[in-house]
Structure 1
Amino acid sequence: ADLSGSNNTKTKNSKVISAKNFDGNYIHYGVREHGMASAMNGLALYSGLIPYGGTFLIFSDYCKPSVRLSALMGLKVIYIFSHDSIGLGEDGPTHQPIEQLAGLRAIPNLNVFRPADINETLECWEVALKSDKTPSAMALSRQKLPYINPVLSKENKCALGAYQVNITSHASKVTLVASGSEVELALDAQKKLKIINIDSKVVSMPCQELFDNQPEKYKKEILDPESTIITIEAGCTSSWEKYVGKKGAVLGIKSFGESAPYKEVYSKFDLTSDNIVALVQKIIK
């Protein structure tokens, strides 16, 4: 929806469809998010193609009625929602999504993916392409992210919704759960916790919907009920509260964002590894 360059949804193999030439595979919708999403539903229903389209996550609200219909009709439609958090920085609170992820996760039969690096993104794409009766929403960062998994594993771990990224001791009683760009923060906090002799496990949860549908045995293996669970995501916390129990905590954002370089904005909302360490110390003290 008028954001091809920013969303990176247009590839070298894209050929634009025009009024005079329908021999293509790419449509310039203009600033018409709802129209784009509606057209993708039509393509999925009629043509047998797999339509995908992109915009900023903040503008997913304009797509929402059609996203809901994608889920209701069980269509293989893929939504690319980039610029997924306060990480977009200077654009400010009008463009920084806060409640959008929680709203999308509330839609039945919609898989909402928020991968932490390029390898998780590939795994999430694989799941989306194989999900014949469930649409997918991909929430992707604006800022560059490091590799969480330097080597692409043979097993698609994201297909399970959540998985263990790293653990400093199997006797650990602290679990840090994060999605997307905040997995990096969790891993940095884990290193600092180890220095002060607090062992922990870091879990990446790119898709809550897939994780919630796993067997209870797997869910308890990943999120030990006896562990102190802290969830970390740069957005509304409502969809995370079900995971932390009575002694855990949710770290997120409960107000609109701020206009500043993204690292300053993260610091403003206490989304730093130092604050995660302090929170762990406070809870387990």
Structure 2
Amino acid sequence: MLPTSACLGLPCWKLAYGSGILRNLICASLINPHLEIFMKFRLLGNFVALGFSLSATSALAQDTATSNLLDRYSGLEITREGPTIDAELAQKMFRRGNTYSNLQRYEEAIEEYRKAISADPNFTNAIRNLANIYYFLERFDEAKPLLARYIELEQQANTPLIAAVSTLGELERQIQNYDSSIQYDERAIALDPDNDSQVHIMANTYNNIGRADLAIRIYRAGIAATPKNAFFDRSLGRILEQEGYVEEALEAYRSAASKDPKSDFYADLVLNLESRLAR
């Protein structure tokens, strides 16, 4: 009968017997009982090693599976409405990205933010921070899709959203993608109606490149956002008059004069244009 061990138990002995090396040890113990104690320690050592090996293999398999799953969402082609793979991991990577960013180790920050977005494709803070780093590094082609995604996902009309919309409009203007830029510019005006200067900058930019039609849209957006701003009406009238839309320009001047009846400047604009039309 095979010797048994109270420490290891019969099932362990049966499992061990399946191994060629351990089977030889068992046979040796039958021939020489003095080897039994030695064999017990050898068996115990082998089972401990086997346990560590199985644990390591299991952990490696789990890490590999997680890595493969994250790889499906890596890069800038992450779905905007994808499932959250691991929110806790996303937060961890986000915090590490912030740390690297504060240390001005931007490439490492980029890597951590990308991992955070891979773990949670709708993680707006990570998307925004990654876009900001790309913008700071003047890697605008990489910043723009992230800004667009952040704008789509962000539900709060907060300062970061206003900055993202305004920045993306500016970037689109720089590459003369005006069909896109005008939409972001109009939204930026609606989100930040008290920012008069941005309205004039946008309108003058469009007007100076020969896109008076877009400048007119900008001033109309400004008037819609800030109805009491008489100077927007005057500026709109100026461009309309420049483009030959005299009747519409007169309406704009009259609107400005009605909003600021004490202004001789607006009153004179109305009188002068009325006189021209009367001739």
The answer, yes or no, to whether TM exceeds 0.5 is: no
Task: Write 1 or 2 for the structure with the bigger share of helix.
Answer: 2
Q: TM-score, normalization: structure 1?
A: 0.29
Q: TM-score, normalization: structure 2?
A: 0.29
Q: Which of the pair has more CA radius of gyration?
A: 2
Task: Write 1 or 2 for the structure with the bigger share of strand.
Answer: 1
